[in-house]
Amino acid sequence: MNQNDMPKAYEPADVEAKWYPEWEKRGLFHGEPVPGKKAYSIVIPPPNVTGILTMGHVLNNTLQDILIRWHRMLGEEVCWFPGTDHAGIATESKVDKVLREKEGIDRRTLGREKFIERVWEWKKQYGGTIIRQLRKLGTSCDWERERFTMDAGLSDAVKQVFVRLYEKGYIYRGTRMVNWCPAAQSALSDEEVIYKETKGKFWHFRYPLTDGSGYLVVATTRPETMFGDTAVAVNPRDERYRHLIGKTVHLPLTDREIPIIADEHADPEKGTGCVKITPAHDPNDYQVGKRHNLEFINVMNRDGSMNSRCGKYAGLDRYECRKRCVADLEAQGLVEKIEDIVHNVGFSERGGVEIETLLSNQWFVKMDELAKPAIEAVKTGKIKFYPERWTKTYFHWMENIQDWCISRQIWWGHRIPAWYRDEEVYVGVEPPKGEGWHQEEDVLDTWFSSWLWPFSIMGWPEDTAEQKFFYPTNDLVTGPDIIFFWVARMIMAGYEFKGDLPFRNVYFTSIIRDELGRKLSKSLGNSPDPLAVIDQYGADALRFSIVYIAPVGMDIRYANEKCEIGRNFANKLWNACRFRRMQGPVSGEFKALSAKTAASLTPDEVLILSRLSEAVGSVSRALTEFRFHSAAHEIYDLVWSGFCDWFIEACKPRLYGSAEEKNQALAVLDFALWNLLRLLHPFMPFITEELAHQMSFLADGESIMKAPFPVPFPEILPADAEQLSAFTNAKYELVTAGRNLRLSNGVPPSRKAHYHIKASGEAYAAHLKNQLPALLSLLNAEEVSISLEEYKADDGSSAPSLLCEAGVIYLPLKGLVDTAAEKAKLEKQEADLRKWIRSAEGKLSNPGFVSKAPPAVIEAAKKQLSDLQEKLDRVLEALKRLS
């Protein structure tokens, strides 16, 4: 091993390409049921099989990998179950689009069977993209257990669940108002509709009374639905219209007469107070229609065009129809006025088009009974949410839960296991015996397989060792946007089918936005490609940066340049190790310091080891509480500031000193580095593995993945560690002051300086004298004299000085000193001190404080005041000397 074989800068690409296949080859990601051993498991939120890696996935999977790697190092039997989701509508439209563009075939001309074959082909060829990309990130999923929601086993689980719920009476088929997506030509669940503020018109139309006595004015945003109107409603208490109740109006553009009815639904404050009732196309009108026994007229085709009930408008697209209706009504003088309004309009989450609410025959799941244990689990804290506030969102939804529309009029998905023959309906896992049965054409909502994921992935409904050992899983990491779609439903499914919760903790990640706070989206072009970022900065850099910048429980503002944090940090760590290697081979004490070394620790060593031991504890605590970001900050600060800036610099003279000093310094460096690498490994897996080998902490064939996670080591530290650390910090404060003096007085860095320190007391003086080599090195000084006396120059020249906890540091200067600047600096110190003294005195003279504050706080305040006064005296002395 020689010092030249580590490049000056860390080069991630080769290191990542080397280690990932190695880890996988050695089976380090694999988890196996080991009865008696502590289990730790996570199921991945399965990305869409059509998906490509986004920054959202990066965050999500990095956090999961941190947890997984951490627990693996804790010696638990760990398994991270990966896989992908068949994503019904998304995949179907994706493949449909590809077929149309590349081959000019429509899925309908292809037919159901052929089309599904093509989707499978497409899935085989392109479906693994996101899984390959996840490997680049370093995720340690158990790839041997990769599953797909349409795998045979998972499809069995879906059928089982459907049949069980049907037999329990929780699944039913019925004609109800549903959300209809004209693009997908399928029903959607309520959760798949997103409402957007949209500019629209509020048209006021005249509906003539059939008795010729005038007209009513109804206001609507959807003129084209008027062909489905079967009444006009007014509020029974509305004086303006009471006399019209029971009469009829002529529905314009048709030859129909419809009644004027009284119903509370009509709001006198809204519009004109008269509402057209379209029971087949509006949820409220549907209720009104039921109350008044109105006719339900569906006026639309599956694709959103108008049907034969619309007379000459039949076949027109809904928007075209709207235009023509308005024009024709205008021509007939039936338009009273047109207002501009902004209102919320529902769009299909996937298709991006305006949805229709319409009456349709669909399959539903009754949810209220399923919700009960799931609500209870979160209420009692058996399942915990982080951040906790998401429980409110959860409870609100769960306590107002609606039946779930699970049927979809598409082809790609789990076909509903129901068969029809004439009026008979058969529901079962296997098709019915006998002739004449045909299976339900509809497939199930994608989430109907996702909600079973935590146990279907482990082989349910078979009774498997995996379920016994790994179920319930421990933690779930996912975005808050799918709390209803997925999290809530998994909890319900867990209790219903396994009789137990699916996971104990749910960590909701931040949502990633761009630098301006906008959501990342393809159309805005502000969606960075994680693979390009990995190429540029390295996977570890991306992982670390995104955790480092993720604010707790809030959205992340991400920009690629922020990956410099992680890249620079990786480089810093790399060079710290490179420096260490230049000093010679690894010592035998990296795993545990010898008693001899521990007994002769220098104050600098005591400080860094104390900090390290504490950091190990607080990083572990932070991870337990899912405070990833504070763990990352802690490690970053420890490595950069504590270890590199101070400790390495302070130990340099010892490395060039006696053999005994050098060996001790190396032992401590190695011990600290081996702890740091393991502490950091869950966050930056590649570089830590590489360095552990570069440093020979590990032999060939070993991996840091299986090395024990560090534990605090207070037993190594001396009894007076705290005091020694305080002295050392005070020493560093003097160094900073000395450097300040040098810079502000223009002493070039190339020149070795001379300093004098007037120590604050015997204890400080002894400590500083004892630490002279480190002081000289840190100050880049030739000489530092230490005494209890202030500095006096033989030739009468003066010396600027700065006041610190441990004493006053002087930088004697031959020749001219900028006394004005010196004086100004001292005067500022004086002013600050007086301000703080006033505040301290004020506090101590407050009778309330003295009588009510805890004694320790009062003592601290007294000590602070006397320290401040002492410092002020010294500043005043210096000022006197100057004038």
Partner RNA sequence: GGGCGCUUAGCUCAGUCGGUUAGAGCAUUUGCCUUACACGCAAAGUGUCGGGGGUUCGAGUCCCUCAGCGCCCACCA
Stretch 223-252 residues interacting with RNA (CB under 7 A): 233
* Cα 862 from Cα 846, distance rounded (Å): 13
Q: Which residue in 60, 23, 68 sits closest to 41, CA to CA?
A: 68
CA separation (Å) from 843 to 374, 827, 834, 838? 53, 24, 14, 9
CB of 293 to RNA, least distance (A): 20
Stretch that binds RNA, among 70-78, 292-300, 338-346, 677-685 (CB under 7 A): 338-346
Handedness of CA 209, 212, 217, 221 (dihedral sign): positive
Which residue from 644, 772, 817, 879 is in contact with RNA, where contact means CB under 7 A? 644
Task: Pick between residue 376 and residue 637 the one whose CB is nearest to RNA.
Answer: 637
> Where does 74-188 have alpha helices with state H?
88-103, 107-110, 112-126, 129-137, 152-167
Q: Which residue in 432, 406, 429 sits closest to 419, CA to CA?
A: 432
557 binds RNA (CB under 7 A): yes
Q: Which residues, 130 to 159, sit near RNA by CB under 7 A?
A: none
Task: Pick between residue 43 and residue 253 the one whose CB is nearest to RNA.
Answer: 253
282 binds RNA (CB under 7 A): yes
Task: Pick between residue 115 and residue 404 the one whose CB is nearest to RNA.
Answer: 404
x/- mask, RNA, residues 260-279, rule CB under 7 A, reads ------xx-xxx-xxxx---
424-427 long-range CB contacts below 8 Å, 24 or more apart? 425/173, 427/162, 427/163, 427/166, 427/167, 427/171
Which residue from 18, 572, 823, 862 is in contact with RNA, where contact means CB under 7 A? 572
Q: Which residues does 406 contact at the CB level (< 8 Å), separation at least 6? A: 171, 189, 362, 363, 364, 365, 444, 445, 448
DSSP character for 839? Answer: H
Residue 130, both tokens = 């996101």
Task: Pick between residue 202 and residue 420 the one whose CB is nearest to RNA.
Answer: 202
CB of 337 to RNA, least distance (A): 14
CA separation (Å) from 410 to 99, 152, 444, 446? 16, 20, 9, 11
381 binds RNA (CB under 7 A): no
Task: Pick between residue 142 and residue 192 the one whose CB is nearest to RNA.
Answer: 192
Which residue from 376, 555, 783, 877 is in contact with RNA, where contact means CB under 7 A? 555
Stretch that binds RNA, among 249-257, 442-450, 544-552, 671-679 (CB under 7 A): 544-552
For β-strands 407-408 and 215-220, DSSP reports them as unpaired
Q: Which residue in 490, 404, 399 sits closest to 452, CA to CA?
A: 490
* Cα 283 from Cα 269, distance rounded (Å): 20
465 binds RNA (CB under 7 A): no
Which residue from 206, 318, 322, 567 is in contact with RNA, where contact means CB under 7 A? 567
Which residue from 13, 353, 552, 824 is in contact with RNA, where contact means CB under 7 A? 552
CB of 222 to RNA, least distance (A): 6
Stretch that binds RNA, among 560-568, 674-682, 783-791, 793-801 (CB under 7 A): 560-568
Task: Pick between residue 716 and residue 804 the one whose CB is nearest to RNA.
Answer: 804
Q: Which residues, 732 to 761, sit near RNA by CB under 7 A?
A: 735-736, 739-740, 743-744, 748-750
Task: Pick between residue 219 and residue 609 the one whose CB is nearest to RNA.
Answer: 219
x/- mask, RNA, residues 385-404, rule CB under 7 A, reads ----x--xx--xx--x----
CB of 244 to RNA, least distance (A): 14
CA separation (Å) from 305 to 224, 280, 491? 10, 15, 40
* Cα 382 from Cα 495, distance rounded (Å): 12
* Cα 543 from Cα 138, distance rounded (Å): 9
* Cα 845 from Cα 491, distance rounded (Å): 59
Task: Pick between residue 432 and residue 653 the one whose CB is nearest to RNA.
Answer: 653
Q: Which residues, 754 to 813, sit near RNA by CB under 7 A?
A: 780
x/- mask, RNA, residues 817-846, rule CB under 7 A, reads ---------------x---x--xx--x--x
Site size for RNA (CB under 7 A): 100
Q: Which residues, 341 to 370, sit near RNA by CB under 7 A?
A: 343-346, 354-357
CB of 580 to RNA, least distance (A): 8
509 binds RNA (CB under 7 A): no
Which residue from 1, 353, 465, 554 is in contact with RNA, where contact means CB under 7 A? 554
CB of 96 to RNA, least distance (A): 24
Task: Pick between residue 429 and residue 552 the one whose CB is nearest to RNA.
Answer: 552
**DSSP letter string, 407-448:** EESSSSSPBP-EEEETTEEEE-SSPPSSSS-EE---EE-THH
Stretch that binds RNA, among 132-140, 291-299, 644-652, 769-777 (CB under 7 A): 644-652
Could you tell me if 260 and 292 are in contact, meaning their C-beta atoms sit under 8 angstroms apart?
A: no
Q: Which residues, 169 to 228, sit near RNA by CB under 7 A?
A: 179, 190-191, 193-195, 200, 202, 218-222
What is the CB neighbour count within 10 angstroms for residue 3?
11
Which residue from 33, 153, 428, 553 is in contact with RNA, where contact means CB under 7 A? 553
What is the CB neighbour count within 10 angstroms for residue 67?
23
CB of 424 to RNA, least distance (A): 35
Could you tell me if 650 and 773 are in contact, meaning their C-beta atoms sit under 8 angstroms apart?
A: no
Q: Which residues does 720 contact at the CB level (< 8 Å), separation at least 6? A: none
CB of 168 to RNA, least distance (A): 25
ω into 461 cis (within 30 of 0): yes
Task: Pick between residue 582 and residue 711 the one whose CB is nearest to RNA.
Answer: 582
633 binds RNA (CB under 7 A): yes
Which residue from 104, 499, 815, 848 is in contact with RNA, where contact means CB under 7 A? 848
Stretch that binds RNA, among 35-43, 492-500, 570-578, 691-699 (CB under 7 A): 570-578
Q: Which residues, 591 to 630, sit near RNA by CB under 7 A?
A: 630
Q: Which residues, 651 to 690, sit near RNA by CB under 7 A?
A: none
Q: Which residue in 181, 469, 382 sits closest to 300, CA to CA?
A: 181
Q: Which amino acid is at 505?
A: N
Task: Pick between residue 770 and residue 780 the one whose CB is nearest to RNA.
Answer: 780
DSSP character for 313? Answer: G
CB of 849 to RNA, least distance (A): 4
Task: Pick between residue 441 and residue 656 the one whose CB is nearest to RNA.
Answer: 656
CA angle 341, 343, 348 (to 5 degrees): 140
CB of 202 to RNA, least distance (A): 7
17 binds RNA (CB under 7 A): no
x/- mask, RNA, residues 468-497, rule CB under 7 A, reads -------------x--x-------------
CB of 764 to RNA, least distance (A): 17
What are the strands of the beta sheet with 257-262, ordered from one edge?
A: 248-250, 257-262, 231-234, 274-277
What is the CB neighbour count within 10 angstroms for residue 27?
11
Task: Pick between residue 68 and residue 534 the one whose CB is nearest to RNA.
Answer: 534
CB environment 128-160: b (16+ within 10 A), e (fewer): ebbbebbbbbbbbbbbebbbbbbbebbbbbbbb
Q: Which residues does 769 contact at the CB level (< 8 Å), separation at least 6? A: 786
Task: Pick between residue 17 and residue 793 the one whose CB is nearest to RNA.
Answer: 17
Residue 21, both tokens = 């296949």
8 binds RNA (CB under 7 A): yes
Which residue from 852, 859, 866, 873 is in contact with RNA, where contact means CB under 7 A? 852
> Where does 427-552 have alpha helices with state H?
447-450, 453-456, 465-470, 489-493, 530-537, 539-549
Stretch that binds RNA, among 169-177, 209-217, 412-420, 563-571 (CB under 7 A): 563-571
Residue 532, both tokens = 């390009």
